[in-house]
Structure 1
């Protein structure tokens, strides 16, 4: 796109924006107040305790040990945000230059000593590089421990499984 086309496009957009604001009226054109992020405001007293508690419950991702399957390294990961839990698997190609392939995946999670949080299974094509396989998302009780697992099989080979246990802190 040449410079005159860019100028015309930006002028046309500006003109449309002013026309839109004129139709809506001056009340919508006024700028809105935006609160400063909590991190930008120094915390003291009870506010400091609340800010520290909020920081302690921020989302964290924990990944289990990697397991090797022929040309792939597979790992299960769990993201915990208060009582919300999301499980997924990653599969990284080990040897450059080889092709991708189709695999059967199994991603599951459960509360240790409790109920299942879900299971995702199916077929997936993983190309070169690193691929991600979505697993279950669920709510787990505060104070519990979630056990998650991820495996791939290439249609017959018994799969090695990556397993991790993660505490749910609220």
Structure 2
């Protein structure tokens, strides 16, 4: 068999394997309707910058369930001459959510220590009516810095 014939035979064999149905795999796959209801969509708002920190708020939406969380990180590399690692900072956090045109869903206030690594601040899970929009707000403050809330609006598509 020459080289071209071997390549053609290999390609034909690969095509036959890919075209063959795999019943066990097909049975294990959820239906399109089940995939649509179980899909989680993550949406994050724009980052906010304040005194060297970058903050943002995110929401994971699955059906009518919305998981809210905020993130705190460094806004960029340290300035030359800045001691490294920086001293830990105790921050006051507030994460709140409401249905647009409706009422408040939740508000979580807390304390978080931030030093260098990105910190996730969990706000819990809320349930909103299908077809509504959830507005979430996340703010961080310290003794020497006031809050500068960041927001995100997420549709609840069931």
- Indicate whether the TM-score tops 0.5: yes
- The answer as to whether partners of 1:104 and 1:155 remain within 8 angstroms in 2 is no
Q: Distance in 1 between matches of 2:145 and 2:136?
A: 21
| C-alpha displacement of 1:55 | 3.4
RMSD: 2.2
Q: Distance in 1 between matches of 2:122 and 2:144?
A: 22
1:101 matched to 2:89? The reply is yes
| C-alpha displacement of 1:117 | 1.2
Q: Distance in 1 between matches of 2:137 and 2:61?
A: 15
Consecutive unaligned residues of structure 1, counting only runs of 5 or more, are 1-34, 40-49
Counting only pairs closer than 5 Å after superposition, residues 64-143 of structure 1 correspond to structure 2 as: 64-94=45-75, 95-96=77-78, 97=84, 98-143=86-131
- The answer as to whether partners of 2:51 and 2:145 remain within 8 angstroms in 1 is no
Q: Distance in 2 between matches of 1:151 and 1:36?
A: 47
Higher relative contact order (CA 8 A, sep 6+): 2
Write the deviation string for residues 85-128 of structure 1: whole angstroms up to 9, x where unpaired.
11100011233533331000000111001121101002111121
Q: Distance in 2 between matches of 1:118 and 1:70?
A: 27
Q: Distance in 2 between matches of 1:36 and 1:103?
A: 50
